[in-house]
Structure 1
Amino acid sequence: MKIEESFDNKEIIKLEIANRSIYLGSKYNMTREIEKFKDVFNEINKHYQVIIFGAAGGSWIREMKEQFKEREIVFVEPLDELKEKLIENISEINNIKVISLESDTFQSDLKKVITKRFVQFVVFSNYDLIFPKEGYDLKNSIKDDITDKTINENTRVVFSKDWFENYLKNLPVIAQSERLNKYRAAFSKKPAIIVSAGPSLEKNIQLLKGNEDKFVIITGIRTLSTLRNEGIKADFACVIDGSEAMYNVAKESLNEETHLFFSESSNYKIINEYKGEKVYFTSPNYINLNIKLGNFSTDLVYQGGSVAHSCLAIAEYFDCDPIVFIGQDLAYTNNQIHSKNATIKGEKLETDNFDFYVKDIYGNDVPTTYSLDSFRKGFEEFIKGYYERTYINATEGGANINGTLIKTLKEVIDENNNVIDKSCIYRYDRPNLDKETMLNELKDNLKELIKIKKFAKEAIIENDNLVGNFKANNKKFKKALERLDYIDNIYKQKKDQFLLINSLFAPVIKAIDIQFYDEKVGNYESELEHVTFIAEKGKTLYENVNECIDFALPYINDAIKSLEDIISE
């Protein structure tokens, strides 16, 4: 890479690619390239995050410092040296992120920097001509990440109340359950099998019978009863789903004695009714809340959207090697949703819809969905991050998972003949949690939420009268703005009190984002229009905050009572 000057005295970069000298930008008229970019950029809605492919060094960005202000900007460079040059040139501009396609961590870097559902992709100058494949792949990666974020956001919206209820009703169980940390490296270098409910499970599940002592067998709770019906004993089961539908799926397994891994948001009915020992692990979503309520978190377990991701992460925590997948189709093999022996009464076996095709382990097309393919990518991301062990796909069907070896289950069984000592599973370690701190923090949180609720009611009234006071041009308008600023600051200062009810805000935030999507952003036709917008948005926000607190208070009271009962025993 060589830094030169264009004929119009702008910094320009010269690269040597395939024995050819190529300029990023225009050697003759770099000013024209910059102006073309400005024209495109200035038309982009200010709500959008902007991802820009390339900057040709980026010295020109100083000219756009004001336009970039208060915007979310990400530059993606195809080469590490271009990234470093860009960072050097924009070091005084704080709101710009820069990542490189050459980085080993590019995919995870891209996930981190994409923060909005609305994203505009822009190519600077001639980058798409010099790096066509890179630009094409980048656009697809952005599309995939936005799809994943949308799926996750929709999940948070749909299950917001379930997760909140589950968290509080699971607290008493968490206080008395074994913890993940007991099992760190408990089965080091021993083979693990992750059992999932994909259509191909019926092809080979029977081969596990009589071979259970050679593997650490981990399964989702759906397939726990499937294994039992086949006469196969699992070592661990896992449940992360918090929905009522999951409870219905799990009913056949509630009397099992297999140790059950669960997290804060797992369905509380399953956790309270399950007969066997429960083992608690911390979901990353709750780490800050758990710290506030007494710092009772365990080590974290990776969660990629499905229970199989958690099973995989648990096997990694055990330090198992190799880790083997069966029933992990991640696709509708033979047009089936699940295997026949993992489909419960009332569920459809076959699907009527899919989104697109992916390649299966044999190189043929197999139908899948955006959700299932997102899970596949989650596995591949995990495998790439924990590459020091062997991963085997013994599903014998379904989508190909990059990073895995393809083998039959029979081959895997034939290669592993040693009996595993599993005695640690049956040694109960009583948790030593500070239940008093947990209880007192809940009580304090309850009091603070009741106080905050009073301010929400006041803010609703102030916003309701804001437009009228503005039109009357009276002193009440200024006082109302000052009071609303004061209440807003109280809410910011008390943000820790909202950790407990954060999940309840997911649908609120999305609804307000949609209802008050404002394309004008500062370009209102009149001040009255602006004040009306602020008043309506503020009133809606605080009405929803009020409703969330009203919903939460009875559940918090119940959790306090349950913990008091446990402490008094």
Structure 2
Amino acid sequence: MKIIKTSDGYKVCRIKKDGKYEYLADIAHYDQEIRKLIDTLDGLKFDSLIFLFGIDTGSYLEQLKKCLCSKNNVIIFEPNPSVFKQFKAALSDNIRLVFYEEKLVKQIFEQTITLKNINNIYFYAFGNYQKIYKKEYDRLIEHLDWTITNAASQVYLAKRFKNVFIKNMIANMKIINQATPVNNYVFSNKDVPAIVVSGGSSLDQNIKDMVKQRDKLNDYFIITGSRTLKALVENGIVPDMVVSVDPVDANYEMMKDYLDLDVPLAFYEYSNRYLLRDYSGEKILISLLLSHTIKGMENVKSVYCGGSVSHACIDIANMLGCSPILLTGQDFALTNKKHHADSALFPFDSTSRYDAQILIKDINGNPIETTVTLDSFRRNLEYYISCYKDRPRVQFINCSYGAEIKGAPHRELSEILEKGTFSGRKTPCRPDHELNINPEKTIKTILEFLDNYLTKTSQGLELCQIILSENNSKSLLEVEEDDIDLQRILYILQIVNNIENDPYNQFIGGYFTEFLYDMKEKNNHMSAKDFDRLTSDLQYQTNFLNEYLECLNKILAEVKDTIVSTVSEFYQSHIV
């Protein structure tokens, strides 16, 4: 690497890559490179998150700092080790330099991109970095898009299922003591091959292969979701576990004819409450919520959530120690122009449309149609598999005929069933009802949490109305510490801080997720340059806090009403 003076008085790095000298930015018009970066940040909001690819000589840093306020954060990824070594990691209080490593990039995106900022992210590749480091740039963009999509899906799920999540959670607390924690079965089926059954178009052929080799299936641990249970049972194949994670009543419809099946049903707190109530078989608990909120449940394991029940099935098979894990009906594509196999269709599917949106590679490297949602499921699975690529204990094999799944090479299921020999011996999941929670007490505690913050938000609203009615104009940075309006604002901010950090806000799940996202969007108009002025303005702050508390109070009341109605339906004892 060599630093060269540009024609317009700046400095640029010249590097040698693949036997060729390259300038990391325009040596003749470096000022234009800086201007393009600054123009990209036009309209920067007060808490925008900025990712940059390439620092070069750092000549743009001073102008970059002028665009920022204290709430902005900038992360610069530098792919050239010699350039990276020229700087400290902390370039300022809110500008950080990171050496480009793919794992680290993914980790940083996952840590910094949330539902609060998905619409407030800036990205720019400086100078010639996109061209010179095209491979690194493409991977960075892929991970950035993937992380934003995942964060956006949280908002979508919150908006769509917030009410049913509350109902299922409250009703399913009755079931917890009747279930065995999934972690009781860790490595219980070490080296036993598993067949994970999904509902893609390939399932019809996969089932034909299983039926032909039915006698071999006793050696395999078969895990299925609700949608594919009927297809298996009608073909004389009884799975070893059913996994049901979807909250909606369609899951009940899929399994209503098999409620007496003697197969353990794995569920989590938000699974359909009517299915859990009526299913007579043993139950296995996967905990996403209660293990973080209820004493005595800290050791109950969660599973990988990639958007589809198949991700949970695969992770459970892995948790049990199964290997190889055979993926059937796992198309992630519109194979044969179908979203689901014929054997996995139900009457309610006729109202759904699954139009092709993009093309990806199939198992033979040819283009195949899929949807954005299915493709995100595929990428989530590929990420999961990549986490185990250095662990030879577990192998993943794609026996479907749809999308290529990196890390899971394709093999014919018929060939594996016919010729496969495996050392592990299948062990059934024996029940152990060791959990002992008091659902009525837990629900009462949640209601007390709601009542407490209903009172607090009402108090905060009263203070907001006093400030707004007095209509005093003042800067909160210039008043005395004992100023009455400052004390009122500090009290309100304490209410906000307390509920946003209260572990019990997890119980209102989707409501709180949607609330935080919506409030962020409503407050998204404040530019970085106006941050100090507006956040210190008494009337501006009060108007925002008044709207915040009004929305929050309404949400808390709705959640309380939902809990009370669910309790009256599912509990005989008096809780509320």
TM-score, reference length from structure 2? 0.85
- CA shift at 1:459, angstroms? 2.2
The equivalences for 1:58-137 within 5 A come to 58=58, 61=61, 64-65=64-65, 67-68=67-68, 69-79=70-80, 82-83=83-84, 85=85, 88-91=87-90, 93-104=92-103, 106-115=105-114, 116-118=117-119, 119-137=121-139
Q: 1:202 to 1:561 in 2, by over 3 A?
A: closer
1:2-38 CA-to-partner distances (Å, cap 9, x unmatched) read: 6677799977544221223334346678677556544
Q: Does 1:546 align with 2:553?
A: yes
- In 2, distance between residues paired with 1:177 and 1:502? 23
Please state whether the residue corresponding to 1:412 is helix, strand or coil.
Answer: helix
Q: Which residue of 2 aligns with 1:345?
A: 347
Counterpart CA distance in 2 for 1:5 and 1:149 is 43
CA-CA distance at 1:553 after TM superposition: 3.0
Q: Which residue of 1 aligns with 2:236?
A: 231
Structure 1 residue 256: Cα displacement: 1.9
- Deviation larger for 226-235 or 489-498: 489-498
Q: Does residue 482 of structure 1 match 2:483?
A: no
Unmatched runs of 5 consecutive residues or more in structure 1: none
Q: Which residue does the alignment assign to 1:390?
A: 395
Q: 1:337 to 1:551 in 2, by over 3 A?
A: same
The aligned counterpart of 1:412 is 416
1:216, distance to aligned residue in structure 2 (A): 0.6
Q: CA deviation at 1:166?
A: 1.8
- Counterpart contact for 1:302–1:309, Cα < 8 Å: yes
Q: 1:30 to 1:90 in 2, by over 3 A?
A: farther
d(CA) in 1 for partners of 2:237 and 2:495?
Answer: 57
Paired letter, 1:247: Y
Corresponding position of 2:272: 267
Partner of 1:56 in structure 2?
A: 56
After superposition, the Cα gap between the structure-2 partners of 1:525 and 1:9, relative to the gap in structure 1 and judged at 3 Å, is closer
Give CA-to-partner distance per residue, 1:542-569, whole Å, 9 cap, x none: 1222222223335656769989969xxx
Question: Deviation string for 1:95-118 (max 9, x for gaps)?
Answer: 345555443454454343333222
2:248 aligned to which of 243, 258, 263: 243
- CA 152–354 in structure 1, closer or farther in 2 if over 3 Å, else same: farther
- Number of paired residues? 556
Greater Cα shift, 52-61 or 27-36: 27-36
The structure-2 alpha-carbon separation of the partners of 1:220 and 1:138, relative to structure 1 and needing over 3 Å to count, comes to: same
Of 172, 175, 178 in structure 2, the residue corresponding to residue 173 of structure 1 is 175
| Distance in 1 (alpha carbons) for counterparts of 2:178 and 2:95 | 47
Please state if 1:378 is matched with 2:385.
no
Structure 2: segments with no counterpart, 5+ residues: none
Give the conservation status (yes or no) of the 8 Å contact 1:281–1:297.
no
Partners of 1:213 and 1:420 within 8 A in 2: no
Q: CA deviation at 1:220?
A: 0.6
| 1:506 counterpart residue number | 513
Aligned amino acid, residue 318 of structure 1: L
Moved more, 444-453 or 337-346: 444-453
C-alpha distance in structure 2 between counterparts of 1:100 and 1:527, whole Å: 36
Counting only pairs closer than 5 Å after superposition, residues 408-557 of structure 1 correspond to structure 2 as: 408-417=412-421, 421-425=425-429, 427-433=430-436, 435=437, 442-470=443-471, 479-494=484-499, 495-520=502-527, 523=530, 533-553=540-560
Give the conservation status (yes or no) of the 8 Å contact 1:391–1:405.
yes
Deviation at 1:384, TM superposition (A): 0.7
Distance 1:525 1:485 in 2: 17
Secondary structure at the counterpart of residue 367 of structure 1: strand
Residue 399 (1) aligns with residue 400 (2): no
**TM-fit CA distance, 1:164:** 2.3
What CA RMSD, in Å, does the superposition of the two structures yield over aligned residues?
3.6
What secondary structure is seen at the aligned counterpart in 2 of 1:454? helix
Structure 1 partner of 2:144: 142
Instruction: Give the structure 2 partner of residue 185 of structure 1.
Output: 187
SS in 1 for 2:237: coil
Query: Do the aligned residues in 2 keep the contact of 1:99 with 1:110 (CA within 8 Å)?
Result: no
SS at match of 1:159: helix
Instruction: Return the letter of the residue paired with 2:75.
Output: V
SS in 1 for 2:453: helix
Asked if residue 289 in structure 1 is aligned to residue 293 in structure 2, the reply is yes
**For residues 177 and 90 of structure 1, what CA distance do their matches in structure 2 show?**
49
Output the CA distance in 1 between the equivalents of 2:488 and 2:46: 28
Hey, what's the Cα distance between the residues in 2 that align with 1:417 and 1:521? 63
- TM-score, with length taken from structure 1: 0.86
Specify the SS of the correspondent of 1:237: strand
Note if contact 1:439-1:564 (Cα within 8 Å) is conserved in structure 2. no
* Conserved 8 A contact 2:192-2:426: no
Q: Classify 1:96/1:175 alpha carbon distance in 2 versus 1 (closer, same or farther; 3 Å).
A: farther
- The residue type equivalent to 1:44 in the other structure is L
In structure 2, what is the equivalent of residue 155 of structure 1? Answer: 157
SS in 1 for 2:316: helix
- CA deviations 1:70-89 (Å, max 9, x no partner) are 21322222345655x37x52
Q: Which amino acid aligns with 1:462?
A: L
* C-alpha contact 1:54 1:127 (8 A) present in aligned 2: yes
Change (3 A) 1:481 1:563: farther
Q: Distance in 2 between matches of 1:102 and 1:420?
A: 38
CA distance in 2, matches of 1:64, 1:90: 16
Q: Cα distance 1:412–1:527, how it changes in 2: closer, same or farther (>3 A)?
A: closer
One-letter amino acid matched to 2:552? V
Local SS of the residue matching 1:405:
coil
Letter in 2 for 1:181: N
